[in-house]
Structure 1
Amino acid sequence: MNNKIKEFQKKLVKLKLPLALVFSTKLKDPAFFYFSKINPEYALMLISPNFSPKLYCSSLDFEELKVHSRIKPFLQFKKNTLEQIKKLTKTHKIKKMGVNFSYLTVNELKNLKKLFKCKFVDISGELLNLRAIKTNDEIKLYQKASKLTEQIWSRTLAQIKLKKLKTELQVKEFIEQQIKRINSAPSFPTIVASGKNAAIPHHVTNNAKLNGFCIIDFGIRYKGYCTDVTRTIFIGKPTNKEEKFYNLVYETKECAANKINCGEKTANIVKTARKHLGKYDKFFTHGLGHGIGLEIHELPNLKENSKEKFENGMIFTIEPGIYFKNKFGIRIEDDYLFERNKLIQLTKAPKKLVVV
């Protein structure tokens, strides 16, 4: 049995939950992949502190599970499968079950309540907290994913410098081609925002020519896990004031990173960053960062009202930015690992503004 499941079983004991159901259905709960390393079309996992995990899948996914599933043995759905599960719950006198409400449709939950005459408890928070602390295997995977992400950026910047990529759309397409070449996928739609468009944090990339400050925000999904970086470069000749704005954003990122300690509230780091921005704080219009993992936004949250604290094993972004409406914007984002009471920078934005 893998360590992730053992850890979750301990959480179930604390919650006094004898059983948790984890589904891979329409909404694709990331927890299913987290425990099993597979992402089948339709499957059900039973996790209990009282017996070994059980995994049920459709005949379409059976062969894939044979090769890739961490959970063995597994069972194929049959006509009497649900009756067997009902019998199992009666044998173990199960009156309460945990399910991830965030990844069940209203109809799915309704049908569950009809089938099992017991109380259902939302375990979405427990699953998020579990996934926030990365295992050694996940950390190794992230170290590789970060290198690949940096390599893609290096190739992209080289093409921009050679004037082979002249529009936002061309940059986006090149990045996503490079991601495809390494058998990965974008972890979210790539954002390329140049000139006035850079003043819009989540600008929709278009055919605008690269000019002035250019924000490039992208990531890869490597073996299921997401990276997320943002680079800001300048096309043309920046003024001294524009260079100072870049330096301010970079220094804000560094200032926030340097304040991180084990047990420190994430909200305190946000306050540190905003204080460093001084009078330009009002032009910083989003959170300072977020956890990354199987989803692009996970725990911990780096917002002023966040409740989380930094813990060993967390991987997250720090991404300060300033945006001047109808003028320009600057955002710098790197990925970090907090491990053994130290902050490790997985990706490294340039200290000095890159001018093309």
Structure 2
Amino acid sequence: MQIRTHLESLPPYTPIEPFEILSARIGREPSQIVKLDANENPYGVLPAVRKALAEMDFPHIYPDPESRALRKALAAFTSVDEEYLLAGSGADELLDLLMRVFLEPNERILSCPPTFGMYPFDAELNAARCIEVPRNADFSLNLPAIRKAVDEFKPKLLFIASPNNPDGSLIPADVMDELLSLPLLVVLDEAYIEFAGENLGASISRIREVPQRDNLVVLRTFSKWAGLAGLRIGYGAFPKWLMPTLWKSKQPYNVNVAASVAAQASLANVDELKVLVEKLKDERTRLLSALGAVPYLKPYPTQSNFILCQVNGRDAAELKAKLAQEFGVFIRYFNKPGLRDHIRISVGRPSDTDVLIEALKAL
């Protein structure tokens, strides 16, 4: 028996671990852990979501394969007609679906690291190649190099995040317009858009442009702003010409009943979510200031629910390990080019910030 050859050399993706695993690893109760490594919403789901999950109908029946009720709610929320919308088991499923739909073996996508690691991972998983055009030192995009790579390698898809993970920067409107002029499909990952600007990023998002463009996809998730990371629910807006192929290519029952119910309840109570998002944005300001006062850290401005910091004069990986083992504080470290002297810290509750800053000062 022989597995596909390209999978033999596929490096595994390194996922974030949950409370119970972290608790067992360091010998601390979950209540004594400050988890700032995965950009989750520390306030969890709304009470209305818990109630909807407890009272949901027909969990023993397969879900609607078209997620019609959810897509109707999403259409009202995004101002994009539901015929352009597709829900998935997290935005990750939709990333993989796009690659399965478009890429033959050895065909190419384009990505701009440092950025979300699932783009190259999914490409390699699908026997495709990822052409990487590194960002500038300030994490801005290198447009001349992107144009050159498009001309030379003819990638089919460009995956770009705004706000970008891990630095939290937005793509300026004129730069985005330039990307949309390229001869490929632009996949704009807006996983963190609700933390940017005002009104959950409504004035910054490009999602309402999708019906007017043939080469723009916008992906979003409920994992970050809505606190549904554990339920796996995301969605995307796609050009109309692409929708028939996506419908027949996705798994039939890809969105489970609980995830759909939770997402709909979140949208029905979006004003409460806005309050929580504003609390996190206020705490982001406080955390950014506090990190800037730590002598060995240089925090970057951010439009997301995390802050990237350059670590000066000490080993970033060792700092991450000591925070976990000695203080029960978990942050993210990336052993990747351009990031080996950096750490990424999620915005938590005020009490989380207090514990983190005291730990950083003690170290």
Q: TM-score, normalised by structure 1?
A: 0.27
Which of the pair has the greater relative contact order for Cα pairs under 8 Å at 6+ separation?
2
Which entry has the higher C-alpha Rg, 1 or 2? 1
Q: Which has the higher helix share?
A: 2
More strand by share: 1
- TM-score by length of structure 2 reads 0.27
